[in-house]
Structure 1
Amino acid sequence: MVSVNINHVTLTFPLYALEHRSLKRRLLSLVTFGMVDSGLKTQRENVALRNITLKIQEGERVGLIGANGAGKSTLLRLIAGIYYPSEGEIKVEGSIGSMLNISLGTDGEATGWDNLYLRSLLFGINRKTIEENLPKLAELTGLGHFLDYPMKTYSSGMKMRIAFAASTQSVSNVVLLDEWLSVGDKFFKKKAEERLQMLIKEAKILVIASHSRRLIERLCNRVIVLDAGTVVMDADVKTGCDYYFGMKEIEK
């Protein structure tokens, strides 16, 4: 069974406080070989996630909602294995397809073809499968002869086509999305949305972070509300959305 199990996870990042940001102190420290303190000395910690315990099972479509800085993207990166817990443990059963930074791993000096290949390798796809998939990926991008050009000559929309095509070429058991991807012009956007819908339909688990109530209600059957790195509500979609978006209306 495909599942995501997060057990009493806390995630912290070190912060280095600049108590004395004076340029004069920095220069004095340099010329006196450290005899005058530069003031860069205090280390603190930022608790990004605090004592999170969640179990996500096969068939669940989970929407993560909360204000900016609540921990939504951090939780997605934790599930993806980008971050490791400072405390507690996380176990994911099943393959993960994360679209958290779809432009990662591209090379501006390489051609579009090469970047499709490189990004596929980054996702752990074997070379034989990549070579079989390349014609379909090229067709999806709709870039034609531009695939022969270095990626540094591309517009931002063209680069996103390359990244999106490579990132969505295989179905994963667990799909992670940080907001709904909107890439390219209206013609490519239609193809991209159809492809995303297919991936979500085939996935066993979906976890998506979004500020859109309409999107959460359309895609999800469970809502987790985060605030300051903690889970404040874990409920059905209506209850969770009413709670969070109702609070936002009150704040206005």
Structure 2
Amino acid sequence: MDVTLALVLGLTALWSGAGFLADGMPHRASARSLRRRGTLLLTLYGVGLLGTAVLFGLVTTTGAGTLVLALPVVPATVVAAWTVPRLRRLRAGAGALARVPDAPLPPALRAAAAHPLVMLPPQVAGLSMLPAAALAVGSAGIDAGTLLGPAVTGAVLVMVAVAVRHALRHNRLVERATAALPGFAPPRRPGPVGPAAGSPVVPADPVPALAGGAVTSAVRSVRTPPPVSI
């Protein structure tokens, strides 16, 4: 088997597996489990970054299909620049709680584990390997023209769907973490300032609302005592 083809297929499986494991980070039940998953992902990211660098070196040396085969370098760079530092901080935060046996995962740590920069870049790296795998398979004797177009289209559509899903899940977990803070009170909607339209207006003092002489007679009958005969 060609070395480039074997490397491309191996990196496709590695980045896809890492993206699948990263997607389950917010669903960890305990801080210790999150720390173990973070350690495993850091190891996979290191191997994936090394393999992607080797692939880029092979592609630039041979000069065949440089653009498509070098496409995974972009998400791999994002993984090295943003995902790995975030994952290290997340692993350190989980490690502080992992000393307590069966310590539950705090909502804030769960929301941090669901951040799109933690979830999305390894999955994009795995999806970007699909066109490279199609081209590498084509170089092995199979027509790559029938595979490259559907691979690129499918990878782009899946990337968009996955990005939207991660953004919505992260926002939902952030709202839950904010609501779990002590002393947090959700904002209240302001009530109506004046009376509703069409509702009857009730005066503060019902006596002035009586008509004309009825006011005077009613007040006199109440306030004037009857004459006392001796």
Taking structure 2 as the reference length, what is the TM-score of the superposition? 0.25
TM-score if structure 1 supplies the norm length?
0.24
1 or 2, which has the higher helix percentage?
Answer: 2
